[in-house]
Every structure is written in structure tokens, then in C-alpha cells.
Amino acid sequence: MACGLLSRRVASSLRPCLGLTATGYRQVSQTAANIVEEAEFDGPCMKTEVPGPISRSLSKQLEKVQNVIQVNFFCDYEESRGNYLVDVDGNRMLDVYTQIASIPIGYNHPALTKVMADPSNLGTFVNRPALGMLPPGKFPEKLFDGLMSVAPKGFSRVQTMACGSCANENAYKSIFIWYRNKQRGTSQPTPEEERTSVINQVPGCPDLTLLSFMGGFHGRTLGCLATTHTKAIQKLDVPSFDWPIAPYPKLKYPLDQFERENAQEEARCLEEVEDLIEKWGKKGRPVAGIVIEPIQAEGGDNHASFDFFRKLRGIAKKHGSAFLVDEVQTGGGSTGKFWAHQHWGLDDPADMVSFSKKMLTGGYFYKDDFQADKPFRIFNTWLGDHTKNMFLTEVIKVIRTENLLEEVKKSGKVMLQGLYDLQAKYPHLLSRARGIGTFCAVDVRDEATRNDLILKARNKGVVLGGCGNQSIRFRPALVFKERHAHLFLDIFNDAIAELK
Amino acid sequence: MACGLLSRRVASSLRPCLGLTATGYRQVSQTAANIVEEAEFDGPCMKTEVPGPISRSLSKQLEKVQNVIQVNFFCDYEESRGNYLVDVDGNRMLDVYTQIASIPIGYNHPALTKVMADPSNLGTFVNRPALGMLPPGKFPEKLFDGLMSVAPKGFSRVQTMACGSCANENAYKSIFIWYRNKQRGTSQPTPEEERTSVINQVPGCPDLTLLSFMGGFHGRTLGCLATTHTKAIQKLDVPSFDWPIAPYPKLKYPLDQFERENAQEEARCLEEVEDLIEKWGKKGRPVAGIVIEPIQAEGGDNHASFDFFRKLRGIAKKHGSAFLVDEVQTGGGSTGKFWAHQHWGLDDPADMVSFSKKMLTGGYFYKDDFQADKPFRIFNTWLGDHTKNMFLTEVIKVIRTENLLEEVKKSGKVMLQGLYDLQAKYPHLLSRARGIGTFCAVDVRDEATRNDLILKARNKGVVLGGCGNQSIRFRPALVFKERHAHLFLDIFNDAIAELK
């Protein structure tokens, strides 16, 4: 099977570098107003090892003032185009990681550069508004044209925030406020509550909890971190909240071949969730909300069935806990639907949905009940960045006009089939290929081999990222087409073939 | 005294609106490359009540999708200039609040619009990098030209973050990591610590604490919120950490007239700090760090003497607690020095200094000891926004070439003297005028009168903000000159005169 794909293999690292003007792929990108031609490179082009000498020299400079252990290489964002990230040494790589899943429609899409060229946008870039107090006149319009136009069914409200962590932190606060209002039967606190809240004591700061899942990742600020359970390095030495943590189903892939076993595993986890809610309720530390990702991403691309999520949502409702779906990594289209939870097929899938990354702005959709009736309960200086809303509006237009959700389904199919083929070809190295849309992953024999494979692929011109202990996650932009999937698979095969 | 100032009073609300081309103030703003002429309006110009009909109509639209209780009015950021904020109804107001103290050099400064016009910056705006992994080639240079060029003495390292809360959250984490490394004598955790950290339990998530002060404000995410003690509305219903809270000195103003009493009050608070550190240490929940603002801003513009801070720093050092100075609101020049803590006159004033607001990017300076020796301990997808670093570099150049710290001292002097004069003229209404540079405040009789005065001033063309229970805080941009201070005082006097 793999041979079919691989027959079109090209010796990427030897191929002469072709520029924008070469006879490469051309795609037509149509925005609302006019048709523009978007030029993309026709393949990777490697000139040095990565990081190259210029990157290494910049790293030495940066090292003087901050931690550079995590720096992969330095980039030339002006020269990058579409699916191709160009580094400062002139290496051009097919980007299947996209700044940790946060570039929605590729590099330098003309629809976005147009936002910069519009003089009527200048003021918003140069003078950052305190959006909660002094929003720009165009703010409501941009929210309606942008975020609200992709609001999941059932959501009429949205709050922007600067990043994914701030989104979740504030969603958590909204859940706690909502839950306490329910408990006390009024939004009017007692004087005792007011007094004690300022000094971090009950009843003003109540002993409520959030239920999260092993392997879940929801951010790194202290509130979010209490619901993140991925790697020790992210949590070690930081004080936390003692909140309930449920097991996340450990499923066998491909899901459709292990339905019965997986259903049993999911039932076990759901039972544990319900036990935890009851147990913590009895302890006087009730579960105000449940937070979960539709696919655990940072934790290792762990999937659960749509049925699992439907039942979990039912449990939350039954026990009066809010249900928050964290779509920071899954949202924005890469599963082939705009929101991953839309695959579940539920009319009422959640109380809140948080987002960031490919949405460019952080924030969360919420139901009416979750809006505080007093000012300054959910607030900060900037409440996001309106320039991100301006870009997002264009991104959404492009997704529609270029029909990108359909493209994602097509390229995702090529990608997943290619991964199945590769794991059949290299069973001692690859396993558990899985994915929805282009939101795919595969496991590698062990952590060291995984890391080695990522570096080998990079030197052949493909940027990849890891997740979990031994997985590689694939997070291309939405403009990643079938031809890019084939190209990626070819190069990935070459890199695997070099592994011992 | 007030008469001297007020003799130049102008009937601002009746004055015809003069545009940019009128014979108004002109100032020459010289950037590194060339000289540009910056035009500013020559006074407020009010056409409607604020919020006007267009603002009210936009509020109705926005209300459909989010909380608008805190929205003051909608702005026309394209039309705003220098110290003047223009709203969507065409009202032009002298801005003495500047988006909650976050506009450094006024609206639409030509040095900033130039950043937008430079095509080599386009890629960074359009493709947001994951700065910790894939920084742009120009990132080190911009850090050196920008943030590091204003690093307080003793700091050789800086970490950018998206906002003030994220800055403090990560500064707190760095403190906890540093403290645990000290405690265990190595940065190598035990297997038990690694295992327990993932499930929020000791010893992996240790029972360390941070000491903060009553009236302090450090942000609204859950970690920051545990050190924020200003208003109930900000904390109510949100679970928190039980951490030590010290009293903040309640001083009498003007400080130089009550030196002896104030010194006694400060000694009492310092004693309590030391008691708390010892008490919590004995409980097995040691104070890993102390966090404090040089002037408590949101909490009511509460000052303490430079001597208080010098002694507090000594106590932190004596007990092995980190000392974090939160300069989110005070930093960036409005006290007449770039950092407010530079007034203290200490060679070693802090271990970390956090910033945001007028610095445009969030982040913190830190000492070498506070850098983790492993990757991904302090990390998130974006780690700030490089476009803010680009703007900041220009802001710093403008502060230097326009000599703005000196201008702040001059206009601050006019402002504070004017406030002294006004409180002498209206002793039943105003009290406790205080300030350093233009970072000034005054107390109003009670909360209702304070709020009324802010609205009255707004309708006369001056934007103000409150803080604490009954204070007004003045937070003009650094381009607020003596003439603006006189103009503000005139209008403020008119508004006070209308109070019952």
C-alpha cells in the first residue's frame, strides 16, 4: 500500500531549490472581494543542517538573556509561504507542526497581509484598546463577522482573552461563579462572603473543584495547571489545588476494529467520573465543572468515542456540573469540522467551549447562564487583542471561500491512510496511527527514537512535533492539500528508513 | 494657589472644536532615523453626552453576545491623537486614564505607525511565532534594543509573556521552582516528586506559599488572584490558595508631613511580615517569595516610603524568600523613572520585576538563579507577541529622544501641586492628594461622589479612572506635558465645582 504513495517519492534533499516563480503548484485563493493568486513553493529545499550556522549564532545571542533550551531554530517569517516555513539559513521546510498548531491558513496568506495594508485598521494595531471598557467602534461588527459566525450550535455569547490559558482560567472562574449562584440561590453574596473572599478564605473563596482527566492539558497558569496532567516537567514544584482527576480511556486503534473492548474501557472511566463526582460532593467539595479536550493533544493524541463524550455530557448534566470543552488545539477546522466536538452529534454538547491557537485570539463561547450580572467579575486590562479578531474574520472568510474544511477531509484521508501504510511497512517502529481530518498522530517505538525521527525528518525538510511520551502529532495548516500529504509521507518514509 | 492655575481656565465644553490644522500645539518628535512632525489637537471638544447615541447603539449590539456592563463608550482609534481619545460620536477627550494606564506615548504616535508601514515587519504581524521554539531572526536584536535596554540594574535576563497576569503567574512558578531546588539541594526531582506532581499532590506539588499584601493587585487568573486583595467582586466565588497576607502601611499624606507617624505604621507592617514568614515556615508551608507593587494602584494608589521597601527587601533576603516587584502599572516611566522601584536607591532591589501595560508586552526580568535548567518548565505556545516587542523598541526610542521622563517630572509637578491646590479649595470634597511623576491620585468624599465626579469630568472632556474605594487615579501617557496638566486641572476644577 505504502508503495503506491511512495512511488512518487522525490529525493527532496537533493532536489534543486525551486522558487516561487518555478513551475510549482499554484492555487487560486478567492476572498470575498477579489481573486488573488497565491504562490507557494513546490517543495522543501534544504541548504544546511537545522539549526544552521545563522540559527546557532542567534541562539548564542539569545542565550545571554533567556532560556533557549527549547529553541529549535530561528525563522524568516517574511520568506515563509503557505505550508512552507523558511529558516534564517535559507532552509525551506514543509510545516506539519505550524507553531504548535496555531497557523490556520498557512504563512503570509494574502488575505491577512491585506488586513495590514488597510489604513482604517492602523489605529487598532497602534493603540491597543482596553476592550472591556473602551472598545473600538468596529468591535461588535468584527465579533459578529468573525467569532460569532462560527459559534457552535447553542452558543450565543463569547468572551475574548489573550491566550488559551487566560481563556480557561476565566472559563473556570465563570463556572465557579455560576455554581455558587446556583448553590446560594442568588447572585447576591453575604457580607461574610464578601469579607472572606478578599483574604482567600471560605465561604467567600469556596471549596469548589473542577474535574479533569489524566493526560489532559489545559494550560500552564496555576488554575489551568491544576487541571493539566500530562508531564511532570510542566507541574513539578508548583503548588496546586487538590481536585478530582478521572482516568481517561486508554483505547486501542484503529477505533473501529476494537469497538467492544474500547466501549468497556470507556464505561469504566465514566463510572469512575460519576463515583468521583459523588465522592467529592459528599466531602463538601462539589465538582462545579468538568473540563475535557475532544482529543487529548499534548497528552499524546488520545481519542475517545463520540459516544463517550455524549455520555460524559449526560453525567455532567445529571449532577449539575458545568461541561467545558477545551478546543484550544482541536478547534478551528483541522478535524474537518470547525469544532471537534461537532462530530459528537449532540444538540447540547457543552456549556462552554474555549479556544485559542488557530483562532488567533483566545476566548470562550458560553451560554447565557454563565454571564455574570455584575461588572468586573470577568475582566482584565486588554481582554484579548482586537487585531487578532480582525485577522480571524479574514481567516474565516478564506476557510469558506477556499472550502478548506473539505480540503482537510481529503488531505486527512491521504494522511491517515499513509500512516496506516507506513505502520504496516515498519511494524517494529510505528504503531497506533490515528486521526480525524489532518489532526493525526502515530506512535514511535520509544521516546528516543521518536525524537530522533523528528530531527531526521527536519533535516529532510519536514517540521514535526511530538506529544505524549512517544507520539508524533501532525498539525498542518488548513491549506495542507492532498499533494502536501503525499509529499510529507514520502519524506517521512525516507526518514523512517534511516532509523536503525 | 489654585487661582494661579485656574486663571487660565477655558470654557472647554463651549469652545469650538479645533482640528489638527488649527493653530494648536505642535511638537517635534524626533526618532532615530528622521524628524517627523506630530500634530495633536489643542483641547477637548464635546459634541454629545458620553456615551453618545452611536456608542449606545453599539452597546446594544454588543450586549447580544457579551457583558457590556463595564463598557464606558466606543472609540475611534483612527481619529485619536496624542493625549486625545476620540469616541465614535466625535467627542474628543483629554485622556488621563489611557486604557487603564497602558498607552505609553499617546495615540497614533508616528513612530509606531512607521512600524506598520515597514514591509520587513509584515511577516511577524501576519504569522505569529511560537517564540520559545521558533523565534524570528530579529527576536534577539529586538530584545536587546527594547526590553534589555531598559532592564533595571542587576537584571540580565527577561522572559516575555502575553499579559500582566501571565507574567506574574510564570514569575510565581519560577519562584517556586527556584525555592524547591534550594530546598532539595538539586534541580533533580525524586521519582516520587515526579509521580505526585502530575496528580497535584505533595511532594511534587509542594505546600509552598507566596506572601502578598492587603490592597495589592497582581492579576485575576487563579494564581495571581490568590495574591490579589482589593475588592470582593474580583475574588468572590473563586477557590483560592491559603497563603499569608500582610498588612500594607496605611499612610498619611503628604508623606513628608507625617514622617514619624508613617514610619511607625511601616514598622508595624514590617514586623508583621517577619512574623508571618516565621509562622508559615514553622507550619511547614514556607514563604517562597514576597510580591508587592511599588505603589498599590488598583487598591487605591497606596504609597509606602522608599525606606519601607528597602527594609522589606532585607527581610526577604534574610529569610531566603524571593522578592518580586510587580511593576505592571508603575513601570514604563510615569513615575519619572523608568521603573518605580528605581526610586528606592538600592543596588539589589529585587530578584524579579514583572511588567505589562505601557510596556505593551507582558513579561518579567529575572536573575540568573531563577532560570530553570530544563526545557518546558516556563513555556506556552506564544510566550508573548513579537509585534509588541517591535512597537516597544520604538516607544523606548521616543522616550529617549523626546526626553519624556523629564517631561513627566515637570508635568507631574504641575499636576500634584494643582491637586494640592484643589484639595485646599474643596476640603470637604478632596483629600490625600499624592503622587510621584504623573502617577498621581486624590481621594473624593465617598464612592458615589467619586463616580459622579468621573462622569462629570468625562462630559467636560476628560477621561479619568477610579481606584480603591474612593480614589481617582491619574494615568496620563508620557507625552502629557505641563500644558496638558494645566488644561486637565482647569476642567477638573469645573467638574468639582458642579458637585453638590
ipTM score? 0.94
The pLDDT value given to residue B12: 40
The pLDDT of A69-87, averaged and rounded, is 97
Q: DSSP character for B441? A: E
The 10s digit of each residue's pLDDT in A292-304 is 999 999 999 999 9
Contact flag A177-B385 (C-beta cutoff 8 Å): no
Q: Which CATH number fits domain B128-399: 3.40.50.10440, 3.40.640.10, 3.40.630.40, 3.90.1150.10?
A: 3.40.640.10
Question: If we measure between CA atoms, which residue out of B327, B240, B324, B250 comes closest to residue B290?
Answer: B324
The pLDDT of A127-141, averaged and rounded, is 97
H/E element, A497: helix A482-497
Name the residue of chain B whose CA is nearest to A84's CA: B127
Contact flag B233-A377 (C-beta cutoff 8 Å): yes
Name the residue of chain A whose CA is nearest to B358's CA: A128
Question: If we measure between CA atoms, which residue out of B56, B48, B119 comes closest to residue B86?
Answer: B48
Distance CA A72, CA A362 (A): 25
The pLDDT value given to residue B5: 35
Instruction: Reply yes or no on whether the pLDDT at B1 is more than 50.
Output: no
The 10 Å Cβ neighbour count of residue B445 is 15
| Annotated catalytic residue, options A42, A95, A326, A421 | A326
The pLDDT value given to residue A234: 97
Which band of pLDDT confidence, cut at 50, 70 and 90, is reported for residue A152? very high
Three-state secondary-structure class, residue B201: coil
Report yes or no: A27 and A40 within 8 Å, Cβ to Cβ: yes
Architecture per CATH, B2-112+402-497? Alpha-Beta Complex (3.90)
For B373-482, strand residue ranges (E) read 430-436, 439-444, 462-463, 465-467, 471-474
List beta partners, residue A302.
A296
The 10s digit of each residue's pLDDT in B204-252 is 999 999 999 999 999 999 999 999 999 999 999 999 999 999 999 999 9
Distance CA A131, CA B72 (A): 10
For A351-476, strand residue ranges (E) read 352-355, 362-366, 430-436, 439-444, 462-463, 465-467, 471-474
What cell does A271 get?
Answer: 463510572
Smallest CA–CA separation between B336 and chain A, in Å? 22
Q: What count of residues does chain A have? A: 500
Distance CA B29, CA A230 (A): 51
Of B158, B232, B242, the CB nearest to A65: B158
Three-state secondary-structure class, residue A253: coil
DSSP B117-154: H-GGGHHHHHS---TTTS-BTTHHHHHHHTGGGGPPTT
Distance CA A477, CA A98 (A): 6
Contact flag A221-B220 (C-beta cutoff 8 Å): no
Name the residue of chain B whose CA is nearest to A106's CA: B127
Question: If we measure between CA atoms, which residue out of A90, A97, A94, A98 comes closest to residue A46?
Answer: A90
The pLDDT value given to residue A6: 35
Contact flag A379-B108 (C-beta cutoff 8 Å): no
DSSP B358-385: GGSSEEEEE-GGGS-SSTTSS--SSSS-
Buried b (16+ CB within 10 A) or exposed e, A81-113: bbbbbbbbbebbbbbbbbbbbbbbbbbbbbbbb
Three-state secondary-structure class, residue B247: coil
Compute the C-alpha angle A81/A87/A88, nearest 5°.
125
The pLDDT value given to residue A120: 85
Contact flag B380-A158 (C-beta cutoff 8 Å): no
The pLDDT of A161-183, averaged and rounded, is 98
Domain ranges of chain B: 2-112+402-497, 128-399
- A369 among known catalytic residues: no
pLDDT above 70 coverage of chain B, percent: 92
Smallest CA–CA separation between A29 and chain B, in Å? 17
Report yes or no: B385 and A360 within 8 Å, Cβ to Cβ: no
Smallest CA–CA separation between B37 and chain A, in Å? 18
Q: Which of B55, B124, B221, B361 to mutate to test the interface with A (most CBs of A within 10 A)?
A: B221
Which band of pLDDT confidence, cut at 50, 70 and 90, is reported for residue B38? low
Contact flag B198-A235 (C-beta cutoff 8 Å): yes
Q: How many CB pairs under 8 A join A and B?
A: 421
The pLDDT of A384-389, averaged and rounded, is 96
The 10s digit of each residue's pLDDT in A214-223 is 999 999 999 9
- A31 among known catalytic residues: no
DSSP B277-315: HHHHHHTT--EEEEEE-SSBTTTT-B---HHHHHHHHHH
Q: Which of B89, B107, B134, B186 to mutate to test the interface with A (most CBs of A within 10 A)?
A: B134
At A391, the amino acid letter reads F
More confident residue, A70 or A9: A70
Q: Which of A72, A121, A126, A369 to mutate to test the interface with B (most CBs of B within 10 A)?
A: A126
The pLDDT value given to residue A21: 35
Distance CA B344, CA B308 (A): 9
The 10s digit of each residue's pLDDT in A82-119 is 999 999 999 999 999 999 999 999 999 999 999 988 88
Instruction: Reply yes or no on whether the pLDDT at B17 is more than 70.
Output: no
Report yes or no: A399 and A409 within 8 Å, Cβ to Cβ: no
Of A204, A208, A376, the CB nearest to B70: A376
Q: Which residues of B touch A145 (CB under 8 A)?
A: none
| Annotated catalytic residue, options A357, A358, A460, A481 | A357
Report yes or no: B41 and A102 within 8 Å, Cβ to Cβ: no
The overall pTM is greater than 0.90: yes
Instruction: Reply yes or no on whether the pLDDT at B72 is more than 70.
Output: yes
Phi/psi of residue A87, nearest 5 degrees: -100, 175
Q: B484: number of CA atoms within 13 Å, CB side?
A: 31
Q: Which residues of B touch A377 (CB under 8 A)?
A: 233-234, 236
Three-state secondary-structure class, residue B253: coil
Query: What's the mean per-residue pLDDT of chain B?
Result: 92
Of B204, B223, B391, the CB nearest to A222: B223
Is the peptide bond between A203 and the residue preceding it cis, with omega within 30 degrees of 0?
yes
Cα–Cα distances (Å) from A470 to A332, A403, A430, A476, in that order, read 26, 34, 10, 19
Distance CA A497, CA B421 (A): 82
Report yes or no: B27 and A120 within 8 Å, Cβ to Cβ: no
Q: DSSP character for A313? A: H
Q: Which residues of A touch B198 (CB under 8 A)?
A: 214, 229-232, 235
- A217 among known catalytic residues: yes
The 10s digit of each residue's pLDDT in B379-426 is 999 999 999 999 999 999 999 999 999 999 999 999 999 999 999 999
- B221 among known catalytic residues: no
Of A73, A221, A232, the CB nearest to B204: A232
The pLDDT of B351-357, averaged and rounded, is 98
Query: What's the mean per-residue pLDDT of chain A?
Result: 92
Contact flag B221-A222 (C-beta cutoff 8 Å): yes
The 10s digit of each residue's pLDDT in A313-355 is 999 999 999 999 999 999 999 999 999 999 999 988 899 999 9
Is the peptide bond between B51 and the residue preceding it cis, with omega within 30 degrees of 0?
yes
Question: If we measure between CA atoms, which residue out of B365, B219, B127, B378 comes closest to residue A166?
Answer: B219
Smallest CA–CA separation between B392 and chain A, in Å? 11
Compute the C-alpha angle B493/B494/B497, nearest 5°.
85
At A166, the amino acid letter reads C
Distance CA B328, CA B166 (A): 11
Smallest CA–CA separation between A53 and chain B, in Å? 12
List beta partners, residue A30.
A35
What cell does B394 get?
Answer: 520604538
Smallest CA–CA separation between B214 and chain A, in Å? 8
Distance CA A130, CA A136 (A): 9
Instruction: Reply yes or no on whether the pLDDT at B24 is more than 90.
Output: no
Architecture per CATH, A2-108+407-497? Alpha-Beta Complex (3.90)
Q: Which residues of A touch B96 (CB under 8 A)?
A: none
β-pairing, A92-95 with A84-86? Answer: antiparallel
Instruction: Reply yes or no on whether the pLDDT at A25 is more than 50.
Output: no
Q: Which of B169, B236, B329 to mutate to test the interface with A (most CBs of A within 10 A)?
A: B236
Contact flag A126-B133 (C-beta cutoff 8 Å): no
Q: Which of A81, A237, A387 to mutate to test the interface with B (most CBs of B within 10 A)?
A: A237
Report yes or no: A383 and A159 within 8 Å, Cβ to Cβ: yes
Residue identified by cell 516563480 is A21
Smallest CA–CA separation between B253 and chain A, in Å? 25
Question: If we measure between CA atoms, which residue out of A79, A84, A55 comes closest to residue B140?
Answer: A55
Contact flag B376-A231 (C-beta cutoff 8 Å): yes
Contact flag B377-A76 (C-beta cutoff 8 Å): no
Same CATH topology for B2-112+402-497 and B128-399: the answer is no
Contact flag B380-A120 (C-beta cutoff 8 Å): no
Is the peptide bond between A476 and the residue preceding it cis, with omega within 30 degrees of 0?
no
Smallest CA–CA separation between A399 and chain B, in Å? 16
Contact flag B198-A144 (C-beta cutoff 8 Å): no
The pLDDT of B345-368, averaged and rounded, is 96
The 10s digit of each residue's pLDDT in B259-286 is 999 999 999 999 999 999 999 999 999 9
Contact flag B237-A189 (C-beta cutoff 8 Å): yes
Residue identified by cell 468538568 is A290
Q: Which residues of B touch A384 (CB under 8 A)?
A: none
Question: If we measure between CA atoms, which residue out of A238, A283, A115 comes closest to residue B379?
Answer: A238
Contacts of B234 (CB under 8 A, 6+ apart): A376, A377, A379, B220, B225, B228
Phi/psi of residue A117, nearest 5 degrees: -80, -15
The 10s digit of each residue's pLDDT in B100-126 is 999 999 999 999 999 988 888 899 999
List beta partners, residue B291.
B324
